[in-house]
Structure 1
Amino acid sequence: MTTTTTKGYKLGARGAHNISYGGQHPHLLPKFTSKKDERNHVLEHLCGAFRVFARRGFDEGEAGHISVRDPINPNTFWMNPLGIHFQFMIPLDLVHIDITTGEFLNDGSKKPINKAGLMIHSNIYKHRTEVKSISHAHSVYGKLFSAFGRELDMINQDVCIFYKRQCVFKNFGGVALESDEGTEIAFASQGKAAVILQNHGLLTVGETVDEAAYLFCLLEKSCQIQLLVDSCNVKQKPHIIPEDVAEYSGYVVNDPETMYASFQPDYEREVRLSQGEFLITR
């Protein structure tokens, strides 16, 4: 079914196949006949996302975490332990956690995890059942922009992906070691893909780990560009994209398939550079 925006743009079917020309897009969402194969895939891509974050400098001591809901048991999720650099993450390092109880379900039980990460991720999964993956890190421009407690302006085509899909969480109460703040973030972010955590950092969610990770990378870059624009000492203010154009531009590409496809060049770069060391099936 096709709908239109206020300016009459046609809003029909979306997906990576719609943005390619001259052949099928090389990175469509995979389909699985086995849940075990799907689990292997998401754990490999989770490790790939960590390596992309490391290469982009999103690591900050023991802060930052990416997680993915388990395809076999959706009431559980996988995330990184403390003490292992993002650049060296492999599937055997990951910790499997029960969303409700916080119980560790695999051999990772002997590896400690970031308690604040547990509180944030488990509560988002608990209260937002559509979310399959969460990315959070204390990146440089994310931390800087978050200090202003404001949303990004629609000043370029790429940031339109966040049109009406971003929010600011202003109730910063220090390191989120209690469940309450994780629950507040979950409810404040309902229906949003990107959260600017005031005085804290950035958080994104997606239907795949690839989508959440790509959106995080884009959000960080968008914060950097916004800060550069705001710092320009000129009399002319930046042109803000009209709402109907921003709506259309975001709609065209912010579907899960296109977001998945957008992350694959970075993922494949990590596979090649590491010679596939984080692949289960190599």
Structure 2
Amino acid sequence: MSTAVTEPRPAYLADTVTGLPIPGDPEFATCEDARRHRKQRLAAALRLFGKYGFGEGVSGHISVRDPEHEDRFWVNPFGVSFHRVRVADLICVDSGGRVVSGRHRVNPSAFVIHSQIHELHPGATAAAHGHTPHSRALGALGRLLEPIDQESAAFYGRQVLYGAYEGPSVSVAQGRDIAERLGDHRAILLRHHGLITVGGSVEEAVHWFFTYDGCAQVQLLAQAAGTPQPLTHEQATAARDGFGDAQLGRFSFRLLWDEIVAEQPDLLDE
């Protein structure tokens, strides 16, 4: 019987899936500590949406499930600019659409979409939604991302197009339909509407949103200039294993977190 020889791991590769020296997830002693962490990252994510031009009037929202009450989620309040949201402004909404913490009201679209995603998908701790020009343009063409580079391969087999537009999302039935269509994907492109990404944390969901929108821009530019040459199935799968790694997604957000907190420390005001 032959014994397989395992090559020693090179010293420059860390003991992670990607080989990158990525730290593990933080641990919290109490639910309150975990809640503060999630709310701070949520407020930072919203400021980043503002900084990078993802705002469109009152549209767009990011949510994260409460670590103690899993039928509740924290989300940005209605009518407060992404540029001005602080931890103190965030609201907590229950499964019936009632604001149980916070002084602002909830955006009806935020409730019907995010409540259903959190209810149907236990692994979707957070969800990010915005009406960005690149995602709207891609949706208008009825196209999903093609694996034309490493970053877009993060969504290879992990995205879906939703075409059942019925006007602004204000009914729970429509929100549930979106959540059901999302399935176990990490991104759903809403035709005539915008983009939703999900993840096991605020960090991950928001990183996928940034990446998807950037990839949509690259694809639109490439298709306008000529005929992009996609990766093969084998290449796209290999790229997805690296660039689609959830731990990498969470850590990548940390760079944006450091950036926005240094620039806009008032977002942490409680």
Q: If the length of structure 1 is used for normalisation, what is the TM-score?
A: 0.87
Superimposed CA distance per residue, residues 158-184 of structure 1 (whole angstroms, 9 cap, x where no aligned partner): 101001001000101110111111111
Aligned to 1:261: 251
Assess if the C-alpha contact under 8 Å between 2:126 and 2:202 holds in 1: yes
Residues 20 and 51 from structure 1, CA distance in 2 versus in 1: closer, same or farther, beyond 3 angstroms?
A: farther
Aligned to 1:102: 97
Q: 1:252 aligns with which of 239, 242, 257?
A: 242
Q: Distance in 1 between matches of 2:269 and 2:102?
A: 16
TM-superposed deviation, 1:197: 0.3
**Structure 1: which 4+ aligned runs deviate by more than 3 Å?**
15-21
Assess if the C-alpha contact under 8 Å between 2:153 and 2:243 holds in 1: no
Gaps of 5+ in 2: 1-13
Aligned to 1:167: 160
Assess if the C-alpha contact under 8 Å between 2:54 and 2:130 holds in 1: yes
Q: Secondary structure at the match of 2:268?
A: coil
Pairing of 1:168-207 with structure 2 (within 5 A): 168-207=161-200
Superimposed CA distance per residue, residues 9-31 of structure 1 (whole angstroms, 9 cap, x where no aligned partner): xxxxxx9945456xx43x54211
The yes-or-no answer on 1:61 pairing with 2:57 is yes
Q: Secondary structure at the match of 1:278?
A: helix
Q: Distance in 2 between matches of 1:145 and 1:16?
A: 37
Q: Distance in 2 between matches of 1:20 and 1:40?
A: 30
The CA RMSD over aligned residues, in Å, is: 1.7
Q: Distance in 2 between matches of 1:36 and 1:20?
A: 33
Kindly, what percent of the aligned residue pairs are identical?
Answer: 29
The yes-or-no answer on 1:73 pairing with 2:66 is no
Q: Distance in 1 between matches of 2:15 and 2:134?
A: 29
Aligned to 1:4: none
The yes-or-no answer on 1:278 pairing with 2:241 is no
Q: Distance in 2 between matches of 1:140 and 1:251?
A: 28
Pairing of 1:106-255 with structure 2 (within 5 A): 106-108=101-103, 111-232=104-225, 234=226, 237-255=227-245
Gaps of 5+ in 1: 1-14
Superimposed CA distance per residue, residues 129-174 of structure 1 (whole angstroms, 9 cap, x where no aligned partner): 2110000011111111111122111100110100100100010111
Superimposed CA distance per residue, residues 44-102 of structure 1 (whole angstroms, 9 cap, x where no aligned partner): 00000011111110001000000000011111100011121112111111110112x11
Assess if the C-alpha contact under 8 Å between 2:62 and 2:126 holds in 1: yes
Q: Distance in 2 between matches of 1:107 and 1:201?
A: 27
The amino acid of 1:278's aligned partner reads L
Aligned to 2:5: none
TM-superposed deviation, 1:280: 5.7
Assess if the C-alpha contact under 8 Å between 2:94 and 2:100 holds in 1: yes
The amino acid of 2:125's aligned partner reads K
Q: 2:47 aligns with which of 27, 45, 51?
A: 51
The amino acid of 2:268's aligned partner reads L
Q: Distance in 1 between matches of 2:175 and 2:141?
A: 21
Q: Secondary structure at the match of 1:167?
A: strand
Assess if the C-alpha contact under 8 Å between 1:132 and 1:206 holds in 2: yes
Q: Distance in 2 between matches of 1:179 and 1:35?
A: 29
Aligned to 1:3: none
Q: 1:34 aligns with which of 30, 33, 38?
A: 30
Assess if the C-alpha contact under 8 Å between 1:154 and 1:163 holds in 2: yes
Assess if the C-alpha contact under 8 Å between 1:44 and 1:280 holds in 2: no
Alignment length (residue pairs): 257
